[in-house]
Structure 1
């Protein structure tokens, strides 16, 4: 038996294995049975650590967050705009690292309180800029929801870097939409250069926060 198989089964090992398997099979194919097979254990062994698949998805989302934080450098002197830009760029990059990463992250509940320190710091930056706590929460939530929604749609077309889902050929789409010239041309914006699309969308969100709350 290999050294890997002798490693005790715990929540982190299960979540790490699930995240690795996610890139191969996607969310729909990520079953507890498949994860157990990868770990060379029986499926019931996983229930000692996770009561159901959603509990596992919660831990996977939390681990994604931990990895994102570990790879992100933030400056306490950030302006509120810089902080929203940095955090959401980092979130997008983290989600794009996994097939269906945005779907796993969306609606999941963080386990433990690892995220509280970062949230406290972000809210401190936003409230120091003059936002009320309610406004700060609204601003952060709106930017985060934009990012998760954007990446969900992006991964519907490009599941992983270098892949492109069948049916999203821009030129073929333009030919099919030839009777609707604006719609045909829009495909070049909708289904290409997602980096630019994301930056433009995030800029619109930040401009909206500024206009809505009158924050400088």
Structure 2
């Protein structure tokens, strides 16, 4: 029996929240749908093939919000809005950042909002190559930041015992590494504030590099 793409992808995203990326299997998804596993292989050749489709579905969900808000009010606002929307989408799913990072997108759904952001760069005289360098850095930052956050906190906000602040303080020698020991709370708390601050630092740094020809992205 052939199974349509959409039910399989939705079942995969549901199961992802229950078992995580490592526990996700085509056999488990087939059981969730009430079909036999071989019926999925005619559509998805491998687990990675399915993950690519799931990642595409997650990123496609960004489009309505980014487009319906109208053109970004400048490239800085465009970068911030994109980063916030992407992080929120990744956090909706257990291992969301691991799933999306490195996956192959199956359609061009993100091209429309991306075009609007690039137009905002262009409107301020910034070349596409420079704009791409900035957006690529922001995208990588979002994936990496969210990956680390999801390693520490569960989808329900519970902290992995390995990252308990008390345990870290015991591991780090206060006499030898006083500064390192003091930043524990900064590393594993206040994620929302730290995330936005990081994006603004990237954007500000990019803007400063444009003012210095020797520092411009190649």
TM-score by length of 1: 0.90
Matched-pair contact (CA < 8 Å) for 1:58–1:110: yes
Shift of 1:9: 2.4
Q: Give unmatched runs, 5+ long, in structure 2.
A: 213-218
**C-alpha root-mean-square deviation of aligned residues, in Å?**
1.8
Aligned to 2:108: 113
1:29 maps to 23
Q: Cα 1:43–1:77, aligned 2, differ >3 Å: closer, same or farther?
A: closer
The residue correspondences of 1:38-117 to structure 2 (distance < 5 A) are 38-72=32-66, 73-117=68-112
Q: How many correspondences in the alignment?
A: 209
Q: Is 1:170 the equivalent of 2:165?
A: yes
- CA offsets per residue over residues 1-29 of structure 1, 9 Å max, x none? xxxxx9x7211111111011101100000
Moved more, 74-83 or 196-205: 74-83
Find the partner of 1:159 among 154, 157, 161. Answer: 154
Q: What runs of 5+ residues in structure 1 fail to find an aligned partner?
A: 1-5
Per-residue deviation at 1:118? 2.0
Contact 2:152 2:188 in 1 (8 A): yes
How far apart, CA to CA, are the structure 2 residues paired with 1:77 and 1:102? 25
Conserved in 2, the CA contact under 8 Å of 1:74 and 1:86? no
Distance 2:25 2:9 in 1: 12
Distance of 1:194 and 1:59 partners within structure 2: 28
> Does structure 2 retain, via aligned residues, the 8 Å contact 1:92–1:148?
yes
Counterpart contact for 1:175–1:184, Cα < 8 Å: no
